[in-house]
Amino acid sequence: MVTVDVAIIGGGVAGLAAARAIASPERTTCLIERHPRPGMETSTHNSGVIHAGIYYPAGSLKARLCVDGQRRLYEYCEVRNVPHARIGKLILADRSRWDELEMLMTRGKANGVADLALVEPNFVRRREPHIRPLPGIYSPGTGIVEAEALVRALAADCRERDVLMLPGTRLDGGNFRSGAFELETPQEVFRARVVVNAAGLYADEVSRMLGGEQYRIYPVRGEYAVLTRSKRELINGLVYPLPPASGHSIGTHLTKTIGGEVLIGPTVRYQSSKDDYEDARRPAETFLEEARYLLPEVTADDLRLAGSGIRAKLHPPEESFADFMIRADGNQPRLIQVAGIDSPGLTSCLAIGELVANLVGRAL
C-alpha cells in the first residue's frame, strides 16, 4: 500500500494554498478533490473581494490572517499575473449611525488596517457620483481578484512542486492505524502520515469519518443579482452598508468585478443542503430595496439574477460569529482541521496555507 507524508482533502483555495506551502522535496504530498477540477465550490462562488481586515474581532484568526493574507495575495497576484485591482471600498451609513462607523474603524485599526479614514459625503460624491452621498469609512487597500485565475495559479504551483493532484476523487472512508491514516477512495486505498481536512462544506463529515472532533458545518447560501450592462458605469469600486446586526454577513453590497460587472449581494440563507445553489431563488426585483439604499437611481428593470454561492459556517443562525478553525484535532493530532473557512477565506488563503504548513511540520 502506498504511503504519502501528507494528504490534503479539498481543492479550494485553502486546500491548494496549504498543499503549495506544505510541498517540499523531503515530503510526499497529495491533494484529493471530489470535483473534476479544483475550486468549483465556495472559492469561485463569491464576490472576489480582497478584504482589508476591518470587521473581525481583534485577535481572531480571521483578523490576523486577513491582514497578513491581503499583503501576501497582492504580492502573489503581481508575480503570477493573476488579474486583480486595488479599487478601494466605501462603507456607508446614515449620519445617525456615525458612532457605529467610528467603532468599526477603531476595530479595523486595532487589527492593523492603518489606512482607513472616516469620510464625509463630499468625498463619497467625488469617488462615486451616483451613490447616495452618506458619511462612511474609506478603505483604499480593499480590492478585487479574479478567483478562477487565482485557483488556476495555485493549482499550477502545486503541480510544479510535485503535489500529486487527484481530481474527481471522493474520500469514501478512513481510519487511523499503525501511525497513519488509511484513506479509501473509489480508485484505491493509500496511507497518509498526516491529513489536512480542508473539505469546505463537507469538513464536518470528513472529520467524523477520520475519527476527529465532532462539529457541524452550516451551509449558508448567498445569492447575487447583477446590474444590466447599460448601468455598469454607475459604480466605480466597492460600496458597502454597515454590517447587519445579525453578524451573518457584512451586508448586501455593490461589487465592481474584474470583468466589469456590478454584483449586488450576497444574501444570507441558512439551509440544510450543501449543494443546492438554485432552488427557490429570490427574484431579481427583491434586491431592489437594498440596492437603492446605496444606488438610488437603480430600478427593477436594471437588475438581473446572477450566481449564488454556499458558505461553510461554523455557527448556527442564532449566533453571530465563529472564527476559522485551523488547528490540530483534539482527538487525532495528525489530523489538521481547516474548517469554517468562510469570508475572508479567499483573501486569507496564502496566510492560511503558511499556518497549516507549520502545523503539519509539528505533526510529522
Q: What is the pLDDT of residues 183-197, one digit of tens each?
A: 999 999 999 999 999
Helix (H, G, I), strand (E, B) or coil at 47: coil
Cell numbers at 262, concatenated: 456590478
For 141-168, how does the pLDDT look when each residue is reduced to its tens digit (9 = 90+)? 999 999 999 999 999 999 999 999 999 9
Amino acid identity for residue 249 in this structure: S
Q: What pLDDT does residue 26 have?
A: 92
**In whole angstroms, what is the distance from residue 196 CA to residue 163 CA?**
14
The C-alpha angle 147, 150, 155, rounded to 5 degrees, equals 130
Give me the chain's average pLDDT, please.
96
**pTM (2 d.p.):** 0.97
- Strand, coil or helix: what is 257? coil
State the pairing for strand pair 29-32/164-166.
parallel
Residue 245's pLDDT band, with cuts at 50, 70 and 90, is confident
Instruction: Give span(s): CATH 3.30.9.10, the chain.
Output: 85-141+218-313
Tell whether the model's pLDDT for residue 209 goes beyond 80: yes
* pLDDT per residue as tens digits for the range 2-30: 999 999 999 999 999 999 999 999 999 99
Q: What is the pLDDT of residue 143?
A: 98
Quick one: fold of 85-141+218-313? Answer: D-Amino Acid Oxidase; Chain A, domain 2 (3.30.9)
Q: Does CATH place domain 3-44+149-216+321-363 in 3.50.50.60?
A: yes
Confidence tier at 249 by pLDDT (50, 70, 90): confident
List the beta strands (DSSP E) in 228-287: 238-241, 253-256, 262-265, 269-270
pLDDT in the model for residue 309: 97
**pLDDT score for 244:** 83
Are 29 and 164 in contact by the 8 Å Cβ rule? The answer is yes
For residues 215 and 310, what is the distance between their CA atoms, to the nearest angstrom? 18
Closest CA to 256 of 94, 108, 84: 84
86-120 residue pLDDT tens? 999 999 999 999 999 999 999 999 999 999 999 99
Can you list the alpha helix ranges (DSSP code H) found in 128-274? 147-160, 203-209
Name the packing angle between helices 147-160 and 345-363 (round to 10°).
20
Question: Residue 248 pLDDT more than 90?
Answer: no
Listed in sequence order, the residues at least 6 apart from 251 whose beta carbon sits closer than 8 Å to its beta carbon are: 240, 241, 242, 243, 244
Residue 102's CB is within 10 A of a number of other CB atoms, namely 12
The CATH 3.50.50.60 domain(s) of the chain lie at 3-44+149-216+321-363
Judge whether residue 246 has pLDDT over 90: no
Q: Which of 347, 330, 336 is nearest to 22 (CA)?
A: 336
What is the residue type of 161?
A: R
Would you say 137 and 104 are in contact if contact means Cβ atoms under 8 Å apart?
yes
Q: Which residues pair with 177 in a beta bridge?
A: 180
Check residue 27 and report its DSSP letter: B
Residue 67's SS3 state is: helix
Number of residues that make up the chain: 364
Mean local confidence (pLDDT), 220-242: 96
DSSP three-state, residue 351:
helix
DSSP line for 130-141: TS----EEEETT
* Distance, CA of 88 to CA of 197 (rounded, Å): 34
